[in-house]
Protein backbone atom coordinates (compact mmCIF):
# COMPACT_ATOMS: atom_id res chain seq x y z
CA UNK A 1 0.00 0.00 0.00
CA UNK A 2 1.27 3.46 -0.86
CA UNK A 3 1.11 6.12 1.78
CA UNK A 4 2.74 8.09 4.53
CA UNK A 5 3.67 6.62 7.86
CA UNK A 6 4.55 8.43 11.04
CA UNK A 7 5.94 6.90 14.16
CA UNK A 8 5.37 6.69 16.97
CA UNK A 9 1.69 7.55 17.37
CA UNK A 10 2.23 8.82 20.90
CA UNK A 11 5.48 10.11 22.30
CA UNK A 12 6.39 11.29 25.75
CA UNK A 13 9.50 13.21 26.50
CA UNK A 14 11.05 14.77 29.53
CA UNK A 15 11.69 18.47 29.48
CA UNK A 16 15.15 19.26 28.13
CA UNK A 17 15.42 16.18 25.90
CA UNK A 18 15.58 16.19 22.13
CA UNK A 19 13.22 13.83 20.32
CA UNK A 20 12.94 12.79 16.67
CA UNK A 21 9.64 12.13 14.90
CA UNK A 22 9.71 9.83 11.93
CA UNK A 23 7.97 10.41 8.58
CA UNK A 24 8.28 8.02 5.66
CA UNK A 25 6.48 7.99 2.30
CA UNK A 26 6.50 5.47 -0.54
CA UNK A 27 4.53 7.64 -2.96
CA UNK A 28 7.66 8.85 -4.77
CA UNK A 29 6.72 12.42 -3.89
CA UNK A 30 9.28 15.18 -4.20
CA UNK A 31 7.89 17.53 -1.56
CA UNK A 32 7.41 16.84 2.13
CA UNK A 33 6.08 19.01 4.97
CA UNK A 34 5.84 19.11 8.75
CA UNK A 35 2.90 20.80 10.45
CA UNK A 36 1.96 21.36 14.03
CA UNK A 37 -1.57 21.54 15.38
CA UNK A 38 -2.54 23.20 18.63
CA UNK A 39 -6.07 23.54 20.04
CA UNK A 40 -8.01 26.34 18.38
CA UNK A 41 -5.38 26.94 15.72
CA UNK A 42 -4.96 25.91 12.13
CA UNK A 43 -2.15 23.69 10.97
CA UNK A 44 1.08 25.66 11.10
CA UNK A 45 4.03 24.87 8.88
CA UNK A 46 7.28 24.04 10.64
CA UNK A 47 9.60 23.00 7.79
CA UNK A 48 9.22 21.85 4.22
CA UNK A 49 11.41 20.19 1.65
CA UNK A 50 10.94 20.50 -2.08
CA UNK A 51 13.66 18.07 -3.05
CA UNK A 52 16.22 15.75 -1.51
CA UNK A 53 19.02 17.49 0.40
CA UNK A 54 17.11 20.75 0.52
CA UNK A 55 14.63 22.19 3.02
CA UNK A 56 13.24 25.56 4.08
CA UNK A 57 11.91 27.00 7.29
CA UNK A 58 8.19 27.37 7.63
CA UNK A 59 6.33 29.80 9.84
CA UNK A 60 7.36 28.32 13.21
CA UNK A 61 10.77 26.67 12.69
CA UNK A 62 12.41 27.85 15.90
CA UNK A 63 13.37 24.94 18.14
CA UNK A 64 13.03 22.35 15.36
CA UNK A 65 15.42 20.78 12.88
CA UNK A 66 14.96 18.47 9.88
CA UNK A 67 16.96 16.52 7.35
CA UNK A 68 16.13 15.20 3.89
CA UNK A 69 18.87 12.72 3.02
CA UNK A 70 16.49 10.37 1.23
CA UNK A 71 13.44 11.11 -0.90
CA UNK A 72 11.29 8.81 1.24
CA UNK A 73 12.21 10.20 4.64
CA UNK A 74 11.82 13.58 6.36
CA UNK A 75 12.48 13.24 10.11
CA UNK A 76 11.71 16.12 12.46
CA UNK A 77 13.76 16.73 15.60
CA UNK A 78 12.14 18.67 18.39
CA UNK A 79 14.97 20.18 20.36
CA UNK A 80 15.11 21.37 23.94
CA UNK A 81 15.05 24.91 22.54
CA UNK A 82 11.41 24.51 21.53
CA UNK A 83 9.59 26.28 24.33
CA UNK A 84 6.20 24.66 23.99
CA UNK A 85 6.64 21.32 22.21
CA UNK A 86 3.50 19.54 23.40
CA UNK A 87 1.31 19.31 20.29
CA UNK A 88 0.04 17.09 17.51
CA UNK A 89 2.49 16.81 14.60
CA UNK A 90 1.44 15.98 11.05
CA UNK A 91 3.68 15.08 8.16
CA UNK A 92 2.54 15.49 4.56
CA UNK A 93 3.86 15.03 1.05
CA UNK A 94 2.92 16.15 -2.44
CA UNK A 95 4.06 15.00 -5.89
CA UNK A 96 5.74 18.29 -6.70
CA UNK A 97 6.49 21.41 -4.67
CA UNK A 98 3.53 23.31 -6.00
CA UNK A 99 0.42 24.65 -4.36
CA UNK A 100 -1.60 23.12 -7.20
CA UNK A 101 -0.88 19.65 -5.87
CA UNK A 102 -2.96 18.28 -3.04
CA UNK A 103 -1.05 17.19 0.00
CA UNK A 104 -1.21 13.66 1.42
CA UNK A 105 -1.07 13.44 5.19
CA UNK A 106 0.23 10.86 7.63
CA UNK A 107 -1.66 9.77 10.76
CA UNK A 108 0.22 12.14 13.05
CA UNK A 109 2.28 11.91 16.23
CA UNK A 110 1.07 13.33 19.51
CA UNK A 111 4.02 14.60 21.53
CA UNK A 112 3.66 15.28 25.23
CA UNK A 113 6.41 16.86 27.27
CA UNK A 114 6.31 15.83 30.90
CA UNK B 1 -7.91 39.71 5.22
CA UNK B 2 -4.40 38.64 6.20
CA UNK B 3 -5.12 35.13 7.38
CA UNK B 4 -7.33 32.27 6.30
CA UNK B 5 -10.56 32.33 8.27
CA UNK B 6 -13.30 29.73 8.39
CA UNK B 7 -16.85 30.01 9.63
CA UNK B 8 -18.68 28.75 11.46
CA UNK B 9 -16.26 27.14 13.88
CA UNK B 10 -18.67 24.24 14.40
CA UNK B 11 -21.95 23.10 13.02
CA UNK B 12 -24.48 20.50 14.11
CA UNK B 13 -27.07 19.35 11.56
CA UNK B 14 -29.60 16.57 11.18
CA UNK B 15 -29.23 13.78 8.66
CA UNK B 16 -30.62 14.92 5.33
CA UNK B 17 -30.00 18.64 5.91
CA UNK B 18 -27.93 20.54 3.41
CA UNK B 19 -25.26 22.80 4.80
CA UNK B 20 -22.51 25.13 3.76
CA UNK B 21 -19.55 26.88 5.29
CA UNK B 22 -17.16 29.62 4.34
CA UNK B 23 -13.45 30.07 3.88
CA UNK B 24 -12.06 33.61 3.57
CA UNK B 25 -8.52 34.20 2.37
CA UNK B 26 -6.27 37.04 1.15
CA UNK B 27 -7.32 37.88 -2.39
CA UNK B 28 -4.07 39.52 -3.48
CA UNK B 29 -1.41 37.32 -5.13
CA UNK B 30 -3.71 34.31 -4.98
CA UNK B 31 -2.49 30.98 -6.35
CA UNK B 32 -4.69 28.17 -5.08
CA UNK B 33 -7.28 27.16 -2.52
CA UNK B 34 -7.39 23.67 -1.00
CA UNK B 35 -10.21 21.94 0.89
CA UNK B 36 -9.51 18.94 3.13
CA UNK B 37 -11.73 16.67 5.19
CA UNK B 38 -10.34 15.43 8.48
CA UNK B 39 -12.25 12.66 10.20
CA UNK B 40 -11.53 11.80 13.80
CA UNK B 41 -8.65 9.35 14.21
CA UNK B 42 -7.81 9.57 10.51
CA UNK B 43 -5.51 11.67 8.34
CA UNK B 44 -6.75 14.78 6.50
CA UNK B 45 -7.78 13.95 2.94
CA UNK B 46 -7.96 16.35 0.03
CA UNK B 47 -11.37 17.22 -1.37
CA UNK B 48 -10.59 19.94 -3.88
CA UNK B 49 -7.79 22.12 -5.21
CA UNK B 50 -9.16 25.21 -6.90
CA UNK B 51 -7.30 27.90 -8.78
CA UNK B 52 -9.62 29.82 -11.12
CA UNK B 53 -12.06 32.55 -10.18
CA UNK B 54 -15.59 31.25 -10.56
CA UNK B 55 -14.41 27.66 -10.42
CA UNK B 56 -16.88 25.13 -9.10
CA UNK B 57 -15.94 21.56 -8.23
CA UNK B 58 -18.06 18.62 -7.17
CA UNK B 59 -17.41 15.24 -5.58
CA UNK B 60 -20.57 13.30 -4.87
CA UNK B 61 -22.74 15.35 -2.55
CA UNK B 62 -19.98 17.84 -1.80
CA UNK B 63 -19.24 20.87 -3.94
CA UNK B 64 -17.18 24.01 -3.64
CA UNK B 65 -17.06 27.40 -5.28
CA UNK B 66 -14.29 29.94 -5.50
CA UNK B 67 -14.25 33.73 -5.71
CA UNK B 68 -10.67 34.91 -5.95
CA UNK B 69 -11.54 38.58 -6.44
CA UNK B 70 -13.26 38.91 -3.10
CA UNK B 71 -11.31 36.13 -1.39
CA UNK B 72 -13.82 33.49 -0.37
CA UNK B 73 -14.79 29.92 -1.05
CA UNK B 74 -17.93 28.05 -0.06
CA UNK B 75 -18.17 24.33 0.65
CA UNK B 76 -21.63 22.80 0.26
CA UNK B 77 -22.84 19.42 1.45
CA UNK B 78 -26.16 18.27 0.09
CA UNK B 79 -28.23 15.83 2.14
CA UNK B 80 -25.75 15.44 5.01
CA UNK B 81 -25.05 11.93 6.27
CA UNK B 82 -23.45 10.84 9.58
CA UNK B 83 -20.32 9.82 7.66
CA UNK B 84 -19.89 13.48 6.64
CA UNK B 85 -19.07 14.28 10.26
CA UNK B 86 -15.54 15.66 10.22
CA UNK B 87 -13.52 18.83 10.41
CA UNK B 88 -13.29 20.61 7.07
CA UNK B 89 -10.10 22.57 6.52
CA UNK B 90 -9.35 25.11 3.87
CA UNK B 91 -5.89 26.38 2.99
CA UNK B 92 -4.72 29.02 0.59
CA UNK B 93 -1.52 29.88 -1.13
CA UNK B 94 -0.89 33.55 -1.78
CA UNK B 95 2.35 35.21 -2.63
CA UNK B 96 5.46 33.54 -3.92
CA UNK B 97 6.17 30.87 -1.32
CA UNK B 98 5.26 27.27 -2.03
CA UNK B 99 3.42 26.79 1.21
CA UNK B 100 -0.18 26.67 2.35
CA UNK B 101 -1.80 28.70 5.11
CA UNK B 102 -4.56 26.76 6.85
CA UNK B 103 -7.71 27.98 8.51
CA UNK B 104 -8.80 26.62 11.88
CA UNK B 105 -11.48 24.44 10.30
CA UNK B 106 -15.22 23.96 10.56
CA UNK B 107 -16.24 20.99 12.66
CA UNK B 108 -19.39 19.37 11.28
CA UNK B 109 -21.46 16.88 13.23
CA UNK B 110 -24.35 15.11 11.51
CA UNK B 111 -26.79 13.24 13.69
CA UNK B 112 -29.63 10.85 12.89
Distance between CA atoms of residues B65 and B31, nearest Å: 15
Least confident of A3-12, A29-38, B1-10, B53-62: B1-10
Substitution target in B44, B106, B107 with the highest count of A β-carbons within 10 Å is: B44
Pairwise CA distance, residues B91 & B38, whole Å? 13
Mean pLDDT, rounded, of chain B: 93
pLDDT bucket at A26, cuts 50 / 70 / 90: very high
H helical segments located in B30-84: none
Taking the CA of residue B78 and the nearest CA in chain A, the distance in Å comes to 23
Residues of B in contact with A31 (CB under 8 A): 98
Q: Are B86 and B77 in contact (CB under 8 A)?
A: no
pLDDT in the model for residue B99 = 82
Residue A40 is predicted with a pLDDT of 85
| pLDDT of res. A97 | 76
| A51 closest CA partner among A68, A75, A34 | A68
Q: Can you give the pLDDT at residue A100?
A: 78
A53 φ, ψ (degrees, to nearest 5)? 65, 20
Query: How confident is the model at residue A55, as a pLDDT?
Result: 95
**pLDDT band with cut points at 50, 70 and 90 for residue B94:** confident
Residue A51: other Cβ atoms inside 10 A: 13
* Statement: residue B1 has pLDDT above 70: no
Q: Say if CB B71 and CB A10 are below 8 A apart.
A: no
Kindly give the pairing relationship between strand B72-77 and strand A10-13: unpaired
- Average pLDDT for B6-28: 95
Contacts with A100 (C-beta within 8 Å, 6 or more apart), sequence order: B31, B32, B49, B51
Is B28 at the interface with chain A, CB within 8 A? no
- Nearest-Cα distance to chain B for A13, in Å, is 22
Amino acid sequence: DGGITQSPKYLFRKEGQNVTLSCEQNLNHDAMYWYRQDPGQGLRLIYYSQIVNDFQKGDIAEGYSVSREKKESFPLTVTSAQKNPTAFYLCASSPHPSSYNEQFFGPGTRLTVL
Amino acid sequence: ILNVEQSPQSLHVQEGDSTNFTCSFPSSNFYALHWYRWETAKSPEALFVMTLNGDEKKKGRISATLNTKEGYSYLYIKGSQPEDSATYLCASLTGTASKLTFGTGTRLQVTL
